[in-house]
Amino acid sequence: MTLESVPDRYAVIGNPIQHSKSPQVHALFAQQTRQAICYERLLAPVDRFADSVHEFVAQGGRGANVTVPFKLEAFVLAQELTPRAKAAGAINTLSFSAAGIKGDNTDGIGLVRDITQNAGVQLKNRLVLLLGAGGAARGVILPLIEENITSLVIANRTQPRAMELAQQFFHSGAPVSSAAFDQLDQRFDVIINATSASLDSELPPLPDCVFGPQTLAYDMMYGAQPTIFMQHAAQRGTAVRDGLGMLIEQAAESFFVWRGIRPETALVYRWLRGQL
Ligand code: NDP
């Protein structure tokens, strides 16, 4: 494929979608790797996700990212699933071919790469606390386990959801458990906020003992300013990081899934940080 060819079509599908930064990120990846693609935002009505995907495929779409609130519907729609998509129970990357619709999940590997490669924090032999039990939390559990962490504790506002999620992985022998916020009584090496609490400027009710001077507190949310969770953690002496790197790394993995080429992410990160 050359730059003169008709570009292959990709999209990010969600509702709302206007805020999505994925088109800019993928345009930069395409430019850098000289891939002829176009990548657009697709607003799907909340009750017409499957129809919207089929219409996009009929128009020649080659792949799509899926965002809120459709990641679970995408899981049902996909005819083939990668192992990491199966473990996540949610899809953020669809690939379309004559064989049908294939679902993948690149959120988890995006988080792991941002922590280990970009932040330089190793996960092997570490105690990890995961806050939240929604789609984002589900997607990162298997990739975290695969880094050979010592243990993963899941805490969530609605505790039965955390218990259910932990049991799903515990059954396969993974070091995963759940705890209520007020049961947390140890320091963690890495704390990952996969709740949407920061969106409402709210904090998960964490006891101070979970934070230590060697802790990395990671919020999947990102913005021009540190999130309330990052501010809270920094006041307790920890290193902090937001989810912008995860956003770019999950996009890079989707790009790799579709095009077989892994783009460089550091420059894109710096550019997007400057745009926030
Ligand atoms: P979901 O709606 O699926 O899950 C939300 C989670 O947050 C649930 O566990 C919910 O708990 C919890 N929660 C919501 N409000 C509060 C609160 N006030 N206090 C404590 N817990 C709360 O969302 P997602 O999992 O899809 O997304 C979560 C976050 O991750 C979002 O901010 C999203 O933007 C971010 N994200 C970032 C990505 C990136 O690339 N940087 C990729 C994917 C997601 P309960 O079960 O009790 O309702």
Q: Per-domain residue ranges for the chain?
A: 3-105+246-275, 108-242
pLDDT on residue 93: 98
So which residues are the catalytic ones?
71
Architecture per CATH, domain 108-242, reads as 3-Layer(aba) Sandwich (3.40)
Average pLDDT score over the chain: 95
* Residue whose CA is at the smallest distance from ligand 1 atom 36: 220
Q: Is the pLDDT of residue 1 over 60?
A: no
Q: Is the pLDDT of residue 3 over 60?
A: no
A 10 A CB-CB count for 198 gives 24
Mean pLDDT of 238-260: 98
pLDDT tens by residue, 114-135: 999 999 999 999 999 999 998 8
Task: Using pLDDT thresholds of 50, 70 and 90, give the confidence band for residue 172.
Answer: confident
Q: Is the pLDDT of residue 209 over 80?
A: yes
Residue 140 and residue 169 in contact, taking contact as beta carbons nearer than 8 Å: no
Interval between CA 249 and ligand 1 midpoint (Å): 19
Helices H, strands E: what count in the chain?
Answer: 10, 12
Asked whether the domain spanning 108-242 has the same topology as the one spanning 3-105+246-275, the reply is yes
pLDDT on residue 4: 57
CATH tag, 3-105+246-275: 3.40.50.10860
Cβ neighbours for 250, distance < 8 A, ≥ 6 positions apart: 92, 106, 107, 109, 110, 111
Please state the atom number of ligand 1 nearest to the C-alpha of residue 250: 40
Q: Is the pLDDT of residue 173 over 90?
A: no
Whole-Å CA distances, 76 to 7, 71, 80, 261: 29, 9, 10, 28
Task: Give 5: exposed, middle or buried? Use CB within 10 Å, 0-12, 13-18, 19+.
Answer: exposed
Residue 136 Cβ inside 6 Å of ligand 1? The answer reads: yes
By most ligand atoms within 8 Å of CB, the mutation choice from 154, 158, 181, 195 for ligand 1 is: 195
